[in-house]
Amino acid sequence: MSVHTPAGFDRPVTTATFRARKSAGQRIVMITAYDVSSARLVDAAGVDALLVGDSLGMTVLGHPSTLQVTMDDMLRATAAVARGTSHALVIADMPFMSYQVSAEDAMRNAAAFLAAGAGAVKLEGGAHMADTVRRLVEAGIPVMGHLGLTPQSVNQLGGYKVQGKDSAAALALLEDCRALQEAGAFAIVVECIPAELAALASAELAIPTIGIGAGVGCDGEVQVFHDLLGLGGEFTPRHAKRYAELGAAVTAAVASYADDVRRREFPAEAQTTHLDAAVLEEVRAAHARGTAVRRIAGE
């Protein structure tokens, strides 16, 4: 199947591209990637941004949440994704406690992500993180915000559930959006909030909103690689749509391989090389002589 991207989407994406997309009414497409292989595949599909999400804690490393993810985990993944990307903007998630303690920590860790190949970083939190965002931006580090369901605060939020459902929470979220924009964030992820609230935020802000479980009124969308491709097991979050069942396809392919190996049908002639007949004869003769010598010495 050929890949079709709109006119003007052939240049590398930068943070400035995000605002241009919003002004032109072109929705922004973002997806997670965690290694060079997934990065190459989704970059070739013409997406705008690759999020090296701390969701790798669950999708790749098998942790129960994002809270166990370390800077080393994220830096290694970010460098791999950057090596596999030529078009999309690479955005690195700052993991839990890599930016909350002090602005100095945030500066040092964000700079490490840019050195690893990211074009921007993402961090969670609203008005209380505005000063940190401002300092990072002033230092030349592009920052994407993240509001609504913020997975690093899942214990405080009481689980993975929709946020901003009452008037007080909705108004607080809009205020957080304004605070992040004023601090210099180039975009904001809004996760698991009512569609009407996301549309209000999108209409008010000059910077793009990137939704996940927030309706079609956002300026763009982000989804998890594994959710879209059926690689995450039987469970699919409500906000995700499976576009393929690659998990089942992989299991079936490996089962076929295992059957072929056990039946001695793989490797077949097509996967096999042979010695030249003359060389084989020399090897057999030399081997036979060596075996005879060893037998005599053993006696």
Alpha-helical segments (H) within the chain? 15-24, 36-44, 56-59, 71-83, 103-116, 130-138, 154-157, 167-183, 195-204, 225-229, 246-262, 277-298
**Residue pair 57/66 in contact by the 8 Å Cβ criterion:** yes
Active-site residue, selected from the candidate residues 191, 196, 265, 281: 191
Please classify residue 261 by burial: count the beta carbons closer than 10 Å to its beta carbon, then call 0-12 exposed, 13-18 middle and 19+ buried: exposed
103 token code pair = 């602005």
Cβ neighbours of 108 (radius 10 Å): 13
Cβ neighbours of 215 (radius 10 Å): 17
Q: Residue 201 is which amino acid?
A: A
Catalytic status, residue 191? yes
Q: Which residues are catalytic?
A: 191
